[in-house]
Amino acid sequence: MGLDDFTLISATDPSGLPTGPFVGRHLIDGVWCDSADGATFERHSPAHGTPVTRAARGGGLEVDAAIAAARRAFDAGGWRYMGGRERAALLLRVADLIDRDRARIARIETLESGKPISQALAEIEGAADLWRYAAALARTQHGDSHNSLGADMLGLVLKEPVGVAAIITPWNFPFLIVSQKLPFALAAGCTAVVKPSELTPSTTVILGELLMEAGLPAGVVNIVLGYGQPVGAAMSTDPRVDMVTFTGSTGVGKAIVAAAAPTLKKVSLELGGKNPQVLFPDADLDSATDAVVFGIYFNAGECCNSGSRIIVHEDIAEEVTERVVALSRRVAFGDPLDPATKVGAVVSGEHQAKIDQYVRDAVEAGASVRLGGAPLEVPGLAGQFYAPTVISGVTGDMAIAREEVFGPVLSVLTFRSFEEAVALANDAAYGLSAGVWSESVHTCLAFSRAVQAGTVWTNTWMDGFAELPFGGVKESGQGRELGRYGLEEFLEVKTVQMRIGRTRSPWITAD
């Protein structure tokens, strides 16, 4: 398929690229430092091929120092016992600083991840909103009292910070996802050690700069750069860490659960998804097909919430497929630094090869490529791009219908009855999100109750609000982020039973 079949945006003026790489260092106990052995690693732009980041590569010494700092800061109690008003004020200052530096943060995120600059700007704006929402929670969290236990008893339920939280974040939404975790941990009174992905470390480093500027006490947040081995592994096993929260692949999530098991630390996981959108015959097809195209190509499909499979009633399946193909041709793929671009580069050559293999395997299994299905060359860019891809004739037993492709590849399945639609939607190891399109509120409600997913969108896709919890069931993870539930993840419940006066009956009576 030729270049003329797609909407491509070629390279912008190369003078807009950075003249040198961003230099990232660890933040440990309030001090920026290099690795003890001087080790570093580099990140090249997946769209332009140019070096954009040179970061310190952490090892055991850095992890040990960061955890020790977080442990001391928590046990000392200054942050843990600080009033909610004071913690909220600091979180609000961070939000204002994020707004101030939005353009800077978005630009380095675009260079490291390959996502469009317009999308990155929107994500940084959304991240600031999360810090403000967490600030509100810091002032409103509370326990419970029980005054109904009898005349001589009063019961209290205290909610206390869990302790030191290890926060491990992915490459696809590096600044947004750390902002779904860290401000909630801080609002709860926890201290933290943060490890961003080695593919996208720089925006987390910038966040550390903003935290220091806002006046965060030393040791409350520590950042260690590097790879899962040894950094993430050590954070998951160290007994001084009370909790691990991780966003990433299901495979790594399972490894973290196993690593954390010997110390029985709390684990919160937001993992993969194979998210279905079910289109019934009475769906508004103009809205539905636009949302389908958005759902699969947003962030080049490198999104846990990607709407990577649609389950369409057979009466409208061909019309829906043709509409989606036509809309897909109009989606602007290309240079992520151009504000008009809607889909940027795939994160790495290795990941692009994985995407392509899923497509090849589907064709071999009998599916049909209706659009795309191959890497895409964009004029003037040395990075890797994958063509917008639509595959029909997919059946539920194919790998492309069951496994997370994590790319701009849409699978089209068909159904005949409501029961079959629900069965297909639930026939996956994942359960992160799902969508339903119907003008009947009864159909939407029935589907919402029957589908196995942590989030269900009805007649929309991928709307998000700080107030509403997010997370999955089955192999999509455990625990929740956002909303009050996101704060609760970082809290432990303690019961206090108080006897009023000396009213307890003696266990052993006097002679």
As a whole number of Å, the end-to-end CA separation of the chain is 98
β-bridge pairing 22-24 and 26-28: unpaired
Q: Active-site residue among 190, 303, 304, 444?
A: 304
3-state secondary structure of 423: helix
Backbone angles phi, psi at 121, to 5 degrees: -60, -40
E strand residue ranges, 45-200: 51-56, 144-146, 153-161, 164-168, 191-195
β-bridge pairing 276-279 and 433-437: parallel
The b-or-e profile of 382-420 (16+ CB within 10 A means b, else e) is ebbbbbbbbbbbbebebebbebbbbbbbbbbbbbeebeb
Active site residue 303: no
What's the rounded Cα separation, in Å, for the pair 500 and 507? 18
Tokens 């732009």 belong to: 45
3-state secondary structure of 448: helix
Number of Cα atoms under 13 Å in the Cβ half of residue 124: 27
10 Å Cβ neighbour count for 143? 14
What's the rounded Cα separation, in Å, for the pair 247 and 181? 10
What's the rounded Cα separation, in Å, for the pair 399 and 404? 9
Residue 290 and residue 449 in contact, taking contact as beta carbons nearer than 8 Å:
no
Active site residue 304: yes
What's the rounded Cα separation, in Å, for the pair 5 and 417? 35
Residue 264 and residue 244 in contact, taking contact as beta carbons nearer than 8 Å:
no
Q: Active-site residue among 270, 302, 481, 489?
A: 270
What's the rounded Cα separation, in Å, for the pair 214 and 94? 6
Nearest in space to 169 (alpha carbons), one of 228, 214, 234: 228
What's the rounded Cα separation, in Å, for the pair 311 and 436? 9
What's the rounded Cα separation, in Å, for the pair 346 and 230? 26
The pair of structure tokens assigned to 164 is 């030191």
What's the rounded Cα separation, in Å, for the pair 256 and 250? 10
What's the rounded Cα separation, in Å, for the pair 149 and 275? 47
Nearest in space to 11 (alpha carbons), one of 385, 380, 386, 384: 380
What's the rounded Cα separation, in Å, for the pair 55 and 208? 14
Tell me which DSSP letter residue 470 carries. B
Which residues are annotated as catalytic? 270, 304
